[in-house]
Amino acid sequence: MSTPALGCRRLEDRDRNTFLALARQVADEGDSYPFDDETTEGEFLDYWFGKGEIRVAVDGDRVVGGYLIKPNQPWRGSHVANVGYVVDRAMRGRGIGRVLVRDSIARAREIGYRGIQFNLVVVSNVGAVRLYESEGFRIIGTVPGIFRVKDGRYTDAHVMHMDLTGPDEADSEQA
């Protein structure tokens, strides 16, 4: 199902609680982000609001997803972005993730980042892997056992990357 009214914009104060609810949903699922039962509220808030910029996907007035874009590393690594996406569980599979990924690539270029790196794409997160590959990200490598699943098992995760130093293909497609 498509969501034609979907747009992206910067997170505003009034969106904060809705966005946080989506972020908590994803944290509770426990299969894509590193939060666990030991994560404190302060750490959680600092993760999302500590640095970088959040943009949200809105369907009409309703916030249905969002992403945090921030430097992947400080200082000599700060020219590469890291992005984390969340989509409302009830709204997944409708193209919102793809809209967010495209918006984040455009935003990363606008900010002047030279690339985007995802550090922890859990291999079982097939939807995310497919989405990222279909938008041009490459799997750089797969780190064995880097993610501890809720049930205590250790599983692998990909590092994925997109180079932004070349021409913007979205621009040349429009030309």
| Closest CB to ligand COA among residues 126, 175 | 126
| Closest CB to ligand COA among residues 32, 164 | 32
Q: How far is CA 123 from CA 97, 115, 128, in A?
A: 17, 22, 9
In whole angstroms, how close is the CB of 145 to ligand COA at the nearest point? 17
Q: How far apart are CA 159 and CA 175, in angstroms?
A: 32
| Closest CB to ligand COA among residues 111, 159 | 159
In whole angstroms, how close is the CB of 19 to ligand COA at the nearest point? 12
In whole angstroms, how close is the CB of 102 to ligand COA at the nearest point? 10
- Binding region for ligand COA (CB under 6 A): 26, 32, 85-87, 92-98, 118, 121, 125-128, 130-131, 134
Q: Is 155 helix (H, G, I), strand (E, B) or coil?
A: strand
Taking alpha carbons only, the member of 56, 50, 71, 43 closest to residue 17 is 56
Residue type at 122?
V
